[in-house]
C-alpha cells in the first residue's frame, strides 16, 4: 500500500536562497555537491568488517557490565543464579543476533528494528515502534549510558568521597554534547574514535578479568560457597534480573541500523555479529566471576560503582585508572549508539513517517545532521529528571517488546515472502525461542514492576492516535502546512543540509 507522509516539501538550499549556492562550491543551482556535480550527497559505504565489529562490541560493552551486576544480583537472589542469568542472557542474545543477521542480509536497508517491522507488518505497527523509540526508548537508553559515563569520569576526582549528583549530570550533559558534535562532524572520524574507544574498553575488561582469574587460581573461592543456594530466589524478580542482563548485552542489533553503509553486507553483517557476540559473552562471564573473587554479594550490592570497588580492593592507589577506562568504555557505547539510531530516524523520514528534514544530509560532511540532533533535547530532559535504575526498567519493557515483534516478523516473512533472497538463514527455532522469551519477560514484568512497565505501555499506545494525526490525516490547515514549509526551509539553511542524491 502507498505510504503516507508528512506534508513537507523537499526544498534544496539553492531554491530556498540563491545566495546559498556558494555553500555547495558551485554557481549552478542544479548542483548540490560540495565539490563537483558528480559528487553526490549520500551516506557512503564506510563500515568495513573491523568497523562493524567495533560498532557492535563498542556499543554492547559500555555501562551495562559495570551497572547490571548489581541489578541482576539484587533480583536473582544468589550468586549462582546471577551467573546462570548472565550465561542465559548471553545465549538469548546470540539467538537474537543470529535472527538479526538473517534480517540484515535479506532486507538490505538501514533502520534496524523499524525497517524490519515496516517490511513485515506495515506502516501502522512500524510507526508505533518509531514513536516509542523517539519519545522514550532512545532518549532513556542514551541517558542511562551517559549517566554511567558521568559517574565514572568523576570518580578519580572525588575519591574517596561520593560524587555529587549535580556534578554527575553536568558531566553527562557534556559527554552527550560531545558525541552529538562528533557524529555530526564526520562518519570517518566517528568510526575511528569508535575503534580507539573499543580497544580501551577491552583493555578495561582485561584489567578486571586477569587479576580476577589470578585470585581464583590462588584459591579465593569463599564467595562461591553455597552460591547455588536458591532459597532466596523469588520468581517475581527474575524478569527484572533478565532485563538488567539483556540490557548489558544490548547492542548486537546496532550494525543493522547502518546496513546501507556496510561494505558487502551479505558477508560483513553475519560475520561481524558472530565474532562480536563470541567475544562479548566470553568477557562478560569472566568479568562476573572476577568480581566475586574479590567482593561478596553484600559488598557488590552496596557498591555504587562495582568496577571501582573491585579495583580499590585489588589495586589500591592504582584503582584510580579503572574509572578512566570505564568512562571511555561508556563514551564508546554512547558514540556507537548514537551513530546507529540516527540512521533509524533518517530512514523513517525517508519513508515519510517523520518530518522530511530528518532525511537530509550535510552538503560537505555527508552526515545526517538533523537525524543526529533530534534526540538531544529529550535526552537532556530525561537526564535531569530520572533515576538510572527506574530508567532502565522503564525503557526495557518497550525495547524488548518491539525487538520481539521484529524477530517475530522474521518468522512471518518466511511464510509471507518465501521467494525473498536469504544469503544467511537460521533454523526457525532460534527466532521462535528468542521472540517467546522477549514476550514472556515483557508480560511478566507487568506483574513485577507494574508502575514503570505500565508507563511504557501507555506511551506505546499513544502512538496509535499519533499515527492518525500525523500520518493518516491529510487535510491539515493551510497555516500548519505553511509553518511546516517555513520550518523546513529555515532548518535546511541553518544546518546546510539537502535531500540525499539530489
User: Quick one: pLDDT at residue 501?
Assistant: 67
Could you tell me if 430 and 99 are in contact, meaning their C-beta atoms sit under 8 angstroms apart?
yes
Q: What is the mean pLDDT of the chain?
A: 79
Q: How far, in whole angstroms, is CA 159 from its chain's centroid?
A: 31
| pLDDT of 448 higher than 50 | yes
Q: How far, in whole angstroms, is CA 360 from its chain's centroid?
A: 22
User: Quick one: pLDDT at residue 177?
Assistant: 92
The top-scoring range by mean pLDDT among 34-43, 197-206, 404-413 is 404-413
- Which of helix, strand or coil describes residue 375? coil
Residue range 458-462: average pLDDT?
Answer: 85
Residue range 245-261: average pLDDT?
Answer: 82
% of the chain surpassing 90 pLDDT? 10
Q: Which residue(s) pair with 497 in the sheet? A: 362
| pLDDT of 402 higher than 50 | yes
pLDDT band at 390 (very low <50, low <70, confident <90, very high): low
Cβ atoms < 10 Å from Cβ of 162 = 13
- Which of helix, strand or coil describes residue 426? coil
% of the chain surpassing 70 pLDDT? 86
CATH class of 51-498: mainly alpha
More confident residue, 317 or 496: 496
| pLDDT of 24 higher than 70 | no
| pLDDT of 375 higher than 70 | yes
pLDDT 10s digits, 94-145 = 899 889 989 988 888 888 889 999 999 999 999 998 998 888 788 888 888 8
pLDDT band at 387 (very low <50, low <70, confident <90, very high): low
| pLDDT of 31 higher than 50 | no
Could you tell me if 359 and 346 are in contact, meaning their C-beta atoms sit under 8 angstroms apart?
yes
Identify the H or E element spanning 497. strand 497-498
Name which of 270, 319, 293 is nearest 423 in CA terms.
270
Cβ atoms < 10 Å from Cβ of 447 = 11
Joined grid coordinates for residue 447: 506483574
User: Quick one: pLDDT at residue 5?
Assistant: 47
Least confident window among 161-165, 304-308, 329-333:
304-308
Least confident window among 219-228, 347-356, 459-468:
219-228
Could you tell me if 385 and 140 are in contact, meaning their C-beta atoms sit under 8 angstroms apart?
no
User: Quick one: pLDDT at residue 174?
Assistant: 92
Name which of 242, 238, 205, 467 is nearest 353 in CA terms.
467
| pLDDT of 81 higher than 60 | yes
Least confident window among 27-31, 228-232, 397-401, 409-413:
27-31
User: Quick one: pLDDT at residue 393?
Assistant: 61
Least confident window among 24-28, 193-197, 272-276, 305-309:
24-28
pLDDT band at 433 (very low <50, low <70, confident <90, very high): very high
| pLDDT of 274 higher than 90 | no
| pLDDT of 10 higher than 80 | no
User: Quick one: pLDDT at residue 7?
Assistant: 43
Amino acid at each position: 500500500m502507498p505510504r503516507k507522509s508528512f506534508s513537507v516539501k523537499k526544498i534544496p538550499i539553492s531554491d530556498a536562497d540563491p545566495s546559498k549556492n556558494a555553500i555547495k562550491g558551485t554557481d549552478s543551482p542544479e548542483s548540490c555537491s560540495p565539490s563537483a556535480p558528480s559528487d553526490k550527497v549520500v551516506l557512503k559505504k564506510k563500515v568495513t568488517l573491523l568497523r562493524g565489529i567495533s560498532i557492535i562490541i563498542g556499543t554492547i560493552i559500555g555501562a551495562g557490565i559495570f551497572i547490571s551486576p548489581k541489578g541482576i544480583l539484587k533480583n536473582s537472589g544468589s550468586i549462582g543464579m546471577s551467573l546462570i542469568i548472565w550465561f542465559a542472557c548471553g545465549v538469548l542474545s546470540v539467538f537474537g543476533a543470529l535472527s538479526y543477521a538473517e534480517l540484515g542480509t535479506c532486507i538490505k536497508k538501514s533502520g534496524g528494528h523499524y525497517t524490519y517491522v515496516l517490511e513485515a507488518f506495515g506502516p501502522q505497527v512500524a510507526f508505533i515502534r518509531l514513536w516509542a523509540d523517539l519519545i522514550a526508548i532512545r532518549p532513556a537508553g542514551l541517558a542511562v549510558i551517559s549517566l554511567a559515563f558521568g559517574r565514572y569520569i568523576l570518580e578519580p576526582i572525588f575519591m574517596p568521597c561520593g560524587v555529587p549528583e549535580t556534578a554527575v549530570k553536568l558531566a553527562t550533559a557534556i559527554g552527550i554534547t560531545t558525541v552529538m558534535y562528533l557524529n555530526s562532524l564526520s562518519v570517518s572520524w566517528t568510526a575511528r574514535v569508535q575503534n580507539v574507544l573499543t580497544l580501551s574498553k577491552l583493555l578495561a575488561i582485561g584489567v578486571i578479568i586477569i587479576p580476577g582469574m589470578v585470585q581464583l587460581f590462588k584459591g579465593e573461592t569463599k564467595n562461591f560457597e553455597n552460591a547455588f543456594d536458591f532459597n532466596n530466589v523469588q520468581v517475581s524478580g527474575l524478569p527484572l534480573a533478565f532485563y538488567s542482563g539483556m540490557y548489558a548485552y544490548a547492542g548486537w542489533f546496532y550494525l543493522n541500523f547502518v546496513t546501507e553503509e556496510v561494505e558487502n553486507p551479505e558477508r560483513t553483517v553475519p560475520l561481524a555479529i558472530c565474532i562480536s557476540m563470541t567475544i562479548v559473552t566470553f568477557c562478560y562471564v569472566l568479568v562476573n566471576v572476577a568480581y566475586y573473587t574479590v567482593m561478596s554479594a553484600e559488598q557488590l550490592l552496596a557498591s555504587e560503582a562495582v568496577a571501582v570497588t573491585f579495583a580499590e580492593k585489588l589495586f589500591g592507589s592504582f584503582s584510580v585508572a579503572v574509572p578512566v577506562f570505564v568512562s571511555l568504555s561508556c563514551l564508546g557505547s554512547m558514540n556507537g549508539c548514537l551513530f546507529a539510531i540516527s540512521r533509524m530516524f533518517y530512514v523513517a523520514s525517508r519513508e515519510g513517517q517523520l518530518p522530511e528534514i530528518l532525511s537530509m544530509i550535510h552538503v560537505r560532511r555527508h552526515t545526517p545532521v538533523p537525524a543526529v540532533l533530534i534526540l538531544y533535547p529529550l535526552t537532556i530532559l530525561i537526564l535531569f529528571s530520572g533515576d538510572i535504575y527506574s530508567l532502565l526498567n522503564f525503557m526495557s519493557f518497550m525495547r524488548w517488546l518491539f525487538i520481539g515483534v521484529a524477530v517475530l516478523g522474521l518468522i512471518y516473512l518466511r511464510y509471507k515472502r518465501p521467494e525473498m533472497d536469504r544469503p544467511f538463514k537460521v533454523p526457525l527455532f532460534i527466532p521462535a525461542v528468542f521472540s517467546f522469551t522477549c514476550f514472556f519477560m515483557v508480560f511478566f514484568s507487568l506483574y513485577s514492576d507494574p508502575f514503570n512497565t505500565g508507563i511504557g505501555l501507555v506511551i506505546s499506545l499513544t502512538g496509535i492516535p499519533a499515527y492518525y494525526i500525523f500520518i493518516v490525516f491529510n487535510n491539515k490547515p493551510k497555516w500548519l502546512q505553511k509553518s511546516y514549509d517555513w520550518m523546513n526551509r529555515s532548518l535546511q539553511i541553518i544546518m546546510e543540509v539537502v535531500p540525499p542524491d539530489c
